[in-house]
Amino acid sequence: MSDRSATVSVREARDGDLQAVAELHVAAFPESVLGQLGVEAVRRNYVWQLHGPHDVTALVAELGGRPVGFLFGGVFRGSTIGFVKSQKFFLAGQVLRHPKVLVDRIGLDRVRLALRLVSSRWSTPAPEVPDAVPRSSFGVLAIAVDPAVQGHGVGRELMASASAAATAEGFEAMHLSVHPDNLQAVSFYESLGWRRTPEEDGGWVGRMRIALESPEPGVATGEDSEAALAQHPLDQTDDRD
């Protein structure tokens, strides 16, 4: 049982944190495609996110001196395609070791996406979905909180720190994608002031946005609900790269 009197602290993530980040990802998203490929696959993904050609803000939340959450955000250039291409042989081996991902429809779609990315021509990295992301917007690529520490405000602290970093860097807004069926996460974001971004046809596929000039962005007004908040593009149900 966690100590509810402990204070959450947030700091920049370092290379030495990535094993813990990977373990947190798997704990928060046990059925995700990337998570099913194993902790090492997830760790290698976050190595790419931290050191790839991105303008990244990587944060780790600690409670009682141990990592209990993380957030990766900023402007990403090939967050999915770069990772897949740099780790194509390793990932192919992991798929063979974990064939369960091919049984699940979403998993099969993700593998097909990875194959398209590997076979596509790619030279200069470009921002994720450039037609859908405003230049002045800070993207939250991934955020997760250890399910064992729900109710401590870890997600709120991570989002508040990310909002502060984005504001300091001159961004005017933030955006993210969440699975539409993850009602717990959607409710959490809406309690922070985030709004759903509809598609041209009026539907909603999980895109959300918040203007940083809004009053106290990143401060929750509703109940704390934060076990598994957002997902990596390979864990989404639609193409993000």
> Do 181 and 205 touch, CB atoms closer than 8 A?
no
> Using CA atoms, how far apart are residues 224 and 167, in angstroms rounded to an integer?
24
pLDDT at position 15 is: 97
Helices 18-28 and 39-51 cross at an angle (nearest 10°) of: 120
pLDDT at position 124 is: 44
With a CB cutoff of 8 Å and minimum separation 6, the contacts of 110 are: 33, 101, 234, 235
pLDDT exceeds 50 at position 64: yes
Domain extent listing, the chain: 10-235
> Using CA atoms, how far apart are residues 230 and 189, in angstroms rounded to an integer?
10
The CATH topology of domain 10-235 is Aminopeptidase (3.40.630)
Residues 65-111: pLDDT tens digits? 999 999 999 999 887 788 888 878 878 887 777 666 554 544 334 44
Residues 191-209: pLDDT tens digits? 999 999 999 999 999 999 9
Q: Looking at 55-59, 77-81, 102-106, 222-226, which range is the least confident one?
A: 222-226
pLDDT at position 227 is: 45
Pairing of strands 195-196, 207-211: antiparallel
Tokens 């373990």, residue?
23
> Using CA atoms, how far apart are residues 143 and 156, in angstroms rounded to an integer?
11
> Using CA atoms, how far apart are residues 201 and 144, in angstroms rounded to an integer?
30
Q: Which of 153, 106, 139 is closest to 9 using CA atoms?
A: 153
> Do 33 and 234 touch, CB atoms closer than 8 A?
yes
Q: Report the sign of the C-alpha dihedral through residues 165, 169, 172, 177, in that order.
A: negative
* Confidence bin at 165 (pLDDT 50/70/90): very high
- Please count the CA atoms within 13 angstroms of the CA of 228 that sit on its side-chain side: 18
Q: What is the pTM of this model?
A: 0.76
* Confidence bin at 4 (pLDDT 50/70/90): low
Residues 150-159: pLDDT tens digits? 889 999 999 9
pLDDT at position 93 is: 81
Q: Looking at 36-40, 192-196, 208-212, 213-217, which range is the least confident one?
A: 213-217
